[in-house]
A and B are shown apart, each in its own frame.
Chain A
Amino acid sequence: MGLQVALEPTNLFFCLVGVTIGTLIGVLPGIGPLATISILLPITFKAPPLSGIIMLAGVYYGALYGGSTTSILVNIPGEAASVVTCLDGYQMARQGKAGPALGIAAFGSFIAGTLGIVGLMLAAPPLARLALQFGPQEYFSLVILGLTMLTFLARGAMWKSLTMAAVGIFLGCIGVDVMSGSERFTLDIMEFADGIGIAPVAMGLFGISEVLLNVEQSIERSIFKTKIKHLFPSLRDWADSILPILRGSIIGFFLGILPGGGAVISSFISYAVEKKISRHPEKFGTGVIEGVAGPESANNSASAGAFIPLLTLGIPCNPVTALLLGAMIVFGMQPGPLLLTQHPDLFWGTIASMYVGNFMLLALNLPLIGIWVRILKVPYAILFPLILLFCLIGVYSINNSITEMLMMILFGIIGYFFKKFEYEAAPLILALVLGPMFDVALRRSLLTSAGDITTFITRPISAVLLGSALVILVFPLLPWFKKKRNEIADLKE
């Protein structure tokens, strides 16, 4: 059923558009899938719901394919998940092996993406059945776990990420309360009655702020001038890469499922694992193909794994899937355990389209590498006005509202200062999307339990989720605690 839906001409077209745009923005530094999905979101409202989701999902995993091109040729990651690919990929290009590097990145991404989708097909239905037992307590605890995990894995101080998550929860409460019908914090602004829109906030925090930061610098990109040949890896390349690809696929898939995990952390961990188990770890960083194959596979497999909590529980595990969740709700699709039973065509159609998209990406990435390289040469001074313009048009087209346009610009300025003071916006966006669910789940739990807060720990699934969140919060303190304990012991002696 899924393939039947995914192979419909309309869905094929949107899939192709999505993966092409995804590859393009993956190639271009300065704009990532998050900003792009935000910009395209309003346009997809005019398309059929499934087609819109297929396109946006295509942008997500397409960007992961494209990011490797810039990493290998320019030593600038086109996408955060391709940072690690710079280490060995660029060195391979300097040694005249850009072709095999690009080739194995593309093939590894394809294999890993395919394995990830197979894992998604196998894991999603049983998880959906388990999720039918979830009540408000479990959803509350799952949101807590997701936010805690994301703050743990975010760069920088954890207190900053937790602050951002709390700000996101607060912002998510703005608007009409679904339980009572009363307005909260709308400041008599009509546009706030339905809550703070995810698109203006996301476009501002990730799109506008990124441009504001980039225009401050003079970024000169020098593309490594090498003839790109032998895109198809040799037998030796395959022999060296196949196990890293398989390991990367497994690492990426399981990390992608975890709330807060995702493509970025998967690629780093895959690189660390390959270096650890290699017979020649000292060669990592000098241009070994395993350093490209593993991380590139991991990040693509993670993108498939990330869809499991999204589709089965209705819980996004990273900011990109948070945006996709927002899009699905706008389209009238309610992701969660009932999606599989009530709308199997939407569920399996989304999964099957990812499989089709992976084939398209393999076809796009290898023959069109010359075109992507030319696009890299477009000066940023020409690109950034276009990016800003698309953001402005995109946000205006949602509700024809100048207020929302100004809100996007305001959040762009806020995001600019966030980055200056080293605050990550990702926890805020995730919390903003989950905030309404969190609020309702918390209040319903307390109402049904007559104010008994032990309800969150007496229910087994909720207890496990909250316990895991507590472990993640406490874990970073352990080395400090140990060090302090040793210092005290030394003093006593």
Chain B
Amino acid sequence: MFSRLNNDQWSSLFWFICGLVFCIASISHGVGELNNPGIGFTPFWAGFAISAFSVIGFVKSALKQREGVRWQSPLKGVMWWRALLTAGALIAYAFLLPSLGFALCTALCVSVLIRIGKFYRWPVAIVGGIVTAFATYGLFVALLKVQLPRGPWGF
């Protein structure tokens, strides 16, 4: 089903729907009138513009489809799972930071990221994570006095 539309057609469809949603949300805030624009005035017209530009984009990409431009998977030929794991590690970091504290969370996260990056063995990655956690704790907390969450052990 994906192959019926090319990449630009799919993305312009997405933005068309986004634009519509923005317009509807803006109406609920009150668009007002030209001589007394409401708080929804600018966002409404921004949403309208998004939908309008995406229609132009859809038409242009439909013309390109006639010339043979087809759907190409953006994940083809790349190690997309590395990006997925990296994003997952970052999200986990954000959720665990308040409870585990900066130092432990950083050591864990950096270990995982080093392992994702180059498949160093786990002992190497863990050592790298611990060293990074110590160094950044010293730089940001001790030296720059940045307020970072402390874990159950006080760091």
Contact = CB atoms under 8 A, between A and B. Distances in A.
A389 interface: yes
A447 B39 CA distance: 13
Given A386-B132, A388-B86, A421-B10, 19 more contacts: A46-B144, A157-B57, A159-B56, A163-B15, A167-B18, A184-B29, A211-B86, A215-B79, A215-B82, A216-B79, A216-B80, A216-B82, A217-B78, A379-B117, A381-B114, A385-B113, A393-B140, A416-B87, A447-B35
A447 B113 contact: no
Given A43-B144, A184-B29, A216-B79, A173 B50 contact: no
Contacts of A177: 39
* Smallest CB-CB A-B distances: 3 pairs: A451-B35, A381-B117, A381-B118
Contacts of A167: 15, 18, 46, 50
Interface in A375-426: 379-382, 384-386, 388-389, 392-393, 396-397, 400, 402, 405-406, 409, 412-413, 416-417, 420-423
Contacts of A162: 49, 53
B110 interface: yes
A456 to B, nearest CB: 12
> Taking chain B's interface residues, is the majority helix, strand, or loop, or is none over half, making it mixed?
helix
Contacts of A443: 37, 41-42
A433 B98 CA distance: 30
Nearest to B36: A447
Contacts of A180: 39
B91 A173 contact: no
B37 A166 contact: no
Contact of B8 (A157, A396, A397, A453): A157
B87 A413 contact: yes
Nearest to A383: B117
B10 to A, nearest CB: 8
Interface of B: 7-8, 10-12, 15, 18-19, 22, 25, 29, 33-37, 39-43, 46-47, 49-50, 53-54, 56-57, 60, 74-75, 78-80, 82-83, 86-87, 90-91, 93-95, 97-98, 106, 109-110, 113-114, 116-118, 120, 128, 132, 136, 140, 144-148
A342 interface: no
A163 B53 contact: yes
A463 interface: no
7 contacts: A159-B12, A179-B39, A185-B25, A212-B86, A388-B113, A392-B94, A421-B7
Contacts of B18: 167
B93 A392 contact: yes
A400 B140 CA distance: 14
Contacts of B87: 212, 409, 412-413, 416
Contact of B34 (A218, A402, A416, A453): A453
Contact of A159 (B46, B53, B118, B148): B53
B53 A166 contact: yes
A447 B50 contact: no
A: interface residue count bin: 35 or more
B83 A216 contact: yes
Nearest to A421: B11
A311 interface: no
Interface string A419-443: 0111100000000000100110011
B60 to A, nearest CB: 7
A381 B53 contact: no
A113 B86 CA distance: 39
B100 to A, nearest CB: 13
Contacts of A416: 83, 87
B11 A423 contact: yes
Contacts of A397: 140, 146-148
A451 B34 contact: yes
Given A43-B144, A160-B57, A384 B113 contact: yes
A170 B43 contact: yes
A54 B115 CA distance: 38
Contacts of A379: 117-118
A147 to B, nearest CB: 11
Contacts of B35: 446-447, 450-451
A423 B74 CA distance: 13
A208 interface: yes
A184 B148 CA distance: 31
Nearest to B15: A163
Interface string A210-224: 011101111000000
A439 B42 contact: yes
Interface string A268-286: 0000000000000000000
Contacts of A215: 79, 82-83, 86, 116-117
Contacts of B33: 451
Given A393-B146, A406-B91, A447 B40 contact: no
A307 B12 CA distance: 35
B139 to A, nearest CB: 9
A133 interface: no
Contacts of B128: 382, 385
A159 B87 CA distance: 29
Contact of A389 (B22, B39, B120, B136): B136
